[in-house]
Chain A
Amino acid sequence: MTKRRSFAPAIYVGLLLVPIYWLFIMSLKTTKEIESSFIPYPQAPTLENFQYIFDDPSWYLGYLNALIYVLINVAIAVTVAVPAAYAFSRYRFFGARVLFFGFLTFRMMAPAILLVPFVQIFSELNLIDTHIAVAIAHCFFNVPIAVWILEGFISSIPREMDESARVDGYGLIRFFRKILLPQIAPGIAVTAFFCFMFSWVESLLANGLTVVEAKPINGIMTRAGSVLAADMPLLAAAGVLGLIPGVALIVFMRNHLARGFSMGRVV
C-alpha cells in the first residue's frame, strides 16, 4: 500500500469523542452545575440522574421498548432481504433492474411524509402503541438498504457454489440454511448493523406511533425535554444509557463487522 502513517484518523476520532465526553460528564452533574458555569469535569460527581432513570419504570422500560422494536425490525428486514437479494444477484428475471432501483426509492421517503398515513393504517389494524407497528414502519428505509448490501455480498460468492449444491441435491431452503447463510455471515452482520443503526436513531415515527405501552426512550426524553426547565443532566444520563445497546452491539459483533467491512462488498 502507498499509505503512510497519518494522524488524521486519530484526530478525527478524538474530535468525535469530545461531545461524547461532554455528554458523559454532564450526566454526572447537577442541573445547577451545568447552567451556572463552564466546568470541564464534574465537581461533585453524582449518580442521582441514573438513579432517577432506574427508579422510574416509564424511563427504563423506554430502553426495552426501543430495543424490542429495533430487534424485530432487524429480524424482519434481514429475513425478507436475503431471498430478495439472492434473486437480484442470481436470476435474470423480467424487470429485475427496475425493481432493484424501485426498491431503493423507498429509502428516499421521509418519516415526516409517512407519519400521518401510518397513524391511520395502524389505527385501522389496531396496532397503534405496539412494537410491531414501529418495527414494520421502519422497514420502509431498512428493507431497501438490507437488500442493497446483501446483494453485494451474495454477488461476491461464485455461482459455481449454487450449481454444486444443486448437483448434491440441496433444495433452495436447505441451500440457504446450510451453505449461503454461513458464507455471507459477515454480510449479515454488516446489514444488521446498518438496520439497527437507522432504526435505533429514528425518533419521529417511533414516537408518533406509540402512546404508553411501547413508548421508546426517545419519546420519554422528548416529553422531559419539552418542559420549560429541561433537566439537562437527566437527559444526558438518558443519552449515555442510550449509547449502551449500540456500543454493546458493535463490540459483540466486531469480528464479523471487521470482516464484513474489509470484504469490501458493502455495496
Chain B
Amino acid sequence: MNSERQNLLGYTLLLPAVLILTLCGVLPMVFVVYYSLHDTFGGNSFIWVGADWFAQILVAPEFHAALARSLGFSALALAIEVPLGIYVALRMPTKGAMAAVYIVLMTIPLLTPSIVVGYLWTALTLPNAGLIYEVLAPFGIDLNMNKPVTAWLMLAAMDAWHWTSLVVLLCFAGLRAIPDDYYRAARIDGASSWSVFRYIQLPKLRTVLLVAILLRFVDSFIIYTEPYVVTHGGPGVSTTFLSHELVLKALTEFNLGEGGAMAVVYFLIVLCVSWAFFVVVVPRSRARSGTASS
C-alpha cells in the first residue's frame, strides 16, 4: 500500500476512538484549563486572571504537602506491590487447574468496588472488633488509626490487597510469552535461578512491568474514594491526598479556579513521570520484535 492510502485508512479507523476521547478527555481538559485561568462567581461569569491561580498554588504549603503525600503514597504502594506481584507471578504454576483457580480467586479483590474496599478496611481496623486489630493485639500492638503512621500503613496494606493481583496477572501473562527454549538453553548453561530471572525473565517482563507500574502509579497517585472512607483524610490532614484536596477545593469550596490550576499541575506531573518511564523503557522493548537477544 502507498503511504497516502495508509494515512487515510489509519485515520479512518482511528476516528471513532478519537471522537470519544475528544468528548470524554480533551473537552473536559479544555474546561479545566479554562477554569484555571479565570476567576468565577458561582460558575456563571468568568473573569480572566491569567496565571494568578498557578502563582498562588505553587507557593501554597497545603498544595506542596498534599503533593508530597500523594507521591509518597504512590512510592509506598509501588514498593510493596511491584516486587510482591513479580514474586507471586514467578511462583505461579504455569498451567493446569490450579493456575486457573488462582487466577479466578486473585481477581476478586480487583473487582471489589473502591467503596466496598473502603468500608471493608474500616471494619477490619475497628478497635476491639476488627480482624486486623485483634490479630495485632496479642503482639502488644495497639492498632490506632489516629496515628498517622498507622493510618498510612493500613492504607498501603489496603491498596496492596486491592491491586497487587493486577501486577501478578500482567507479569504472569508476560512470563507465559517466554518460549521454553530460553529456559532449556539456560539450564544447559547451568544458569542459577537468579540469573534466569535477571537475564531472561526480567528483560522479557520489561513492557508488562512498564504497564503495571504506570497503572499502579497513576491510580495510587489519584486515589480518592478509599482514604476518604477509611480515614476521611485524617488524622489531621496526614492522609489527605491530592484528589481529596482537589475535590475539596473544586466542589466543597466551589473554588473552580484554584481547583483547575491544581488539576493542571497534577496532570503535568503525572505526564512527566509517565513520559520518563516511556523514554527509559520503550525504545528497547519496541526493538524486541523477532530478536532473541532483547
Contacts and interface: CB of A to CB of B under 8 A. Distances in A.
Given A111-B222, A202-B114, A246-B111, A140 B24 contact: yes
B173 A3 contact: no
B100 A258 contact: yes
Interface string B69-108: 0000000000000001001101111110001101111111
A266 B9 contact: no
A193 B35 CA distance: 35
A8 B85 CA distance: 11
Nearest to A23: B120
A105 to B, nearest CB: 6
Interface in A83-115: 83-84, 86-87, 91-94, 96, 99, 101, 103-115
A140 B111 contact: no
A179 interface: no
* Residue among A26, A118, A172 with the highest chain B CB neighbour number at 10 A: A26
A172 B109 CA distance: 40
A164 interface: no
Given A91-B6, A140-B21, A108 B267 contact: yes
Contact of B271 (A105, A201, A204): A105
B244 to A, nearest CB: 8
A24 B261 CA distance: 43
B131 A36 contact: no
B287 interface: no
B218 A239 contact: no
B189 to A, nearest CB: 12
A143 B17 contact: yes
A250 B17 CA distance: 26
A111 B87 CA distance: 31
Contact of B207 (A94, A113, A138, A267): A267
Contacts of A37: 128-129
A261 interface: yes
B113 A266 contact: no
| Dominant SS among interface residues on chain B | helix
Interface in A223-264: 225, 230, 232, 235-236, 238-239, 242-243, 246-247, 249-251, 254, 257-258, 260-264
B278 A243 contact: no
Interface string A40-65: 10000000000000000000000000
B95 A108 contact: no
B186 interface: yes
B139 interface: no
B123 interface: yes
A74 B88 CA distance: 29
A145 to B, nearest CB: 8
Contact of A101 (B31, B94, B259, B278): B278
Given A9-B102, A38-B129, A261-B169, A139 B175 contact: no
A2 B193 contact: yes
Contacts of A38: 128-131, 133-134
A265 B13 contact: no
B106 to A, nearest CB: 6
B103 A257 contact: yes
A20 B19 CA distance: 40
A1 B180 contact: yes
A88 to B, nearest CB: 8
A120 interface: yes
Interface in A2-50: 2-3, 6, 8-10, 12-13, 15-20, 22-23, 26, 34-38, 40
A266 B91 contact: no
B274 interface: yes
Contacts of A197: 107, 110-111
A243 B112 contact: yes
Nearest to B121: A19
Nearest to A244: B111
Contact of B20 (A8, A108, A136): A136
Interface of B: 1, 3, 6-7, 9-11, 13-14, 16-21, 23-25, 27-29, 31-32, 35, 43, 84, 87-88, 90-95, 99-100, 102-116, 119-124, 126, 128-131, 133-134, 161, 164-165, 168-170, 172-178, 180, 183, 186-187, 193, 196, 207-208, 210-211, 214-215, 218, 221-222, 224-225, 229, 242-244, 246-247, 250-251, 256, 259-260, 263, 266-267, 270-271, 274, 278
26 contacts: A2-B187, A9-B91, A12-B164, A16-B108, A19-B121, A22-B131, A83-B17, A108-B270, A110-B221, A110-B222, A110-B224, A110-B246, A112-B246, A113-B246, A115-B247, A116-B251, A136-B23, A201-B111, A201-B114, A202-B114, A225-B115, A239-B112, A242-B113, A250-B111, A258-B100, A264-B177
Given A113-B29, A247-B104, 12 more contacts: A12-B164, A13-B102, A17-B108, A36-B129, A37-B129, A87-B9, A94-B7, A99-B14, A109-B267, A113-B28, A235-B116, A264-B178
